[in-house]
Amino acid sequence: MSHFELPALEFAPDALEPYIDKETMMIHHDKHHQTYVTNLNAALDKHPELKDNSLTDLIAHLDKVPEDSRTAVRNNGGGHYNHCFFWKVLIPGGSKQPTGALAEAIDKQLGGFEKFKEAFTAAATGQFGSGWAWLTVTKQNVLKVTNSPNQDSPLMDEATPLLGLDVWEHAYYLKYQNRRPEYVKNFFNLINWDFVSDVYEKTLNANTVL
């Protein structure tokens, strides 16, 4: 029994060119992401008691996953969650920068948009090997720029991801080879800041409910 499915992209595979090429998008989505989904479902088939858990619950509460499947759920569930999130963050044309409550929070907490870009770029280029760069918000509504190895998610640290960038080589190697900094720089041309801001405001409201 399959529990999770590969979501369709909300844009054409070539819609992010010239920054992310069509072939990379097709391999990344159709092959890599599908593998995470397939492997996650195989891990969950061993434990029918987990079938009603949401993906977020599984990733945020790995301690509740039986030990014989925990690593598989961490890696493949994390891969599925992170990629579902990544596709939402990307949009053809992108938007220049955040507005509203998120823009204000970035100004107050991270020193402004340019300082944020510097910190995020450092997190993305400085992640050794495979992993992700993130803008997150904690339960105390504090913005943080972080990175994580492999397919680990901020959910594992009780933080909510707002923006994520995949820096696994499969995300950029066909076009950029070893030029990860160029890939990171071009990512800023593709960010769906409306989505990021919406997640932030919903999280802010959820965290402040008494």
Tell which of 33, 68, 89 closes a domain. 89
Q: Does 84 share its domain with 174?
A: no
Q: Does 84 share its domain with 109?
A: no
Domain that holds residue 56: 22-89
Confirm or deny that 33 is annotated as ligand binding. Answer: no
Tell which of 64, 89, 114 closes a domain. 89
Pairing of strands 143-149, 131-137: antiparallel
Residue 29 has pLDDT above 80, yes or no: yes
Confirm or deny that 170 is annotated as ligand binding. Answer: yes
Residue 2 has pLDDT above 60, yes or no: no
Contact (CB, 8 A) for 161 and 81: no
Q: CATH number of the domain that 75 lies in?
A: 1.10.287.990
Minimum mean pLDDT among 16-20, 97-101, 182-186: which range?
97-101
Total domains, the chain: 2
Contact (CB, 8 A) for 113 and 149: no
Contacts of 207 (CB under 8 A, 6+ apart): 137, 139, 140, 141
pLDDT at residue 206 in the model = 81
Banded pLDDT at 209 (limits 50, 70, 90): very low
What distance in Å separates the CA atoms of residue 28 and residue 15, rounded to the nearest whole number?
14
Q: Does 77 share its domain with 120?
A: no
Contacts of 157 (CB under 8 A, 6+ apart): none
What distance in Å separates the CA atoms of residue 105 and residue 107, rounded to the nearest whole number?
5
Minimum mean pLDDT among 9-18, 49-58, 75-84, 173-182: which range?
49-58
pLDDT at residue 205 in the model = 86
Tell me: the pLDDT tens digits for 146-196?
999 999 999 999 999 999 999 999 999 999 999 999 999 999 999 999 999
Backbone angles phi, psi at 166, to 5 degrees: -80, 120
Banded pLDDT at 95 (limits 50, 70, 90): confident
CA angle 169, 173, 179 (to 5 degrees): 95
Q: CATH number of the domain that 204 lies in?
A: 3.55.40.20
Residue 101 has pLDDT above 60, yes or no: yes
Residue 111 has pLDDT above 70, yes or no: yes
Residue 76 has pLDDT above 90, yes or no: yes
152 in any annotated domain: yes
130 in any annotated domain: yes
8 in any annotated domain: no
Q: What is the mean pLDDT of residues 76-86?
A: 98
Banded pLDDT at 96 (limits 50, 70, 90): confident
- Which residue is associated with the tokens 């970035």? 106
pTM score: 0.94
168 in any annotated domain: yes
pLDDT at residue 208 in the model = 60
Banded pLDDT at 207 (limits 50, 70, 90): confident
What distance in Å separates the CA atoms of residue 78 and residue 60, rounded to the nearest whole number?
10
Tell which of 65, 89, 113 closes a domain. 89
Q: Does 131 share its domain with 56?
A: no
Q: What is the mean pLDDT of residues 110-136?
A: 98
Q: Does 77 share its domain with 104?
A: no
Q: Does 76 share its domain with 112?
A: no
Q: Does 81 share its domain with 139?
A: no
6 in any annotated domain: no
